[in-house]
Amino acid sequence: MTDYFTTTLSNDEIRAISSIGLAHLGDAVYELLVRTYLCAHGKATGKGLHRATIELVCAPKQAELSERILPMLTEEEHAVFKRGRNANVHSVPQHASRAQYQQATALEALFGWLYLNGEKSRINELFNAMMEE
């Protein structure tokens, strides 16, 4: 049986995944990190938890927070980020500009790519840098 919690794909298999596919996975990785972060920091009440999650996972906030890690990215990570930013998205939420949505998609694609490469410690390092006050 395949263990999808620890699945690591080959470089060729990961390259074959579209930017939108990487962002789709990275969105789940990022949201899980945000939910864990909020619970660990005492925000574990029903409405407050949901509102705090929505605030941190919306495209404008992701775009803002992603700016904090751009100087930290390796050349390869930056290439994945850029690939995600340039993904052909067909619809943009009303509460976000196209630029914000592209930046959020780039962040999610990066997190998806790192996850598939088994780079959980790197994801954690970048996420912590994003969440620093």
Is residue 88 exposed (0-12), middle (13-18) or buried (19+ Cβ within 10 Å)?
exposed
d(CA 32, CA 9): 21
- Are 99 and 58 in contact, with CB atoms under 8 Å apart? no
Residues 6+ apart with CB under 8 A from 92: 98, 101
3-state secondary structure of 78: helix
- Please say if 12 is a catalytic residue: no
Catalytic residue among 27, 33, 84, 115: 27
Structure tokens at 20: 């939108």
Q: Which residues are catalytic?
A: 27
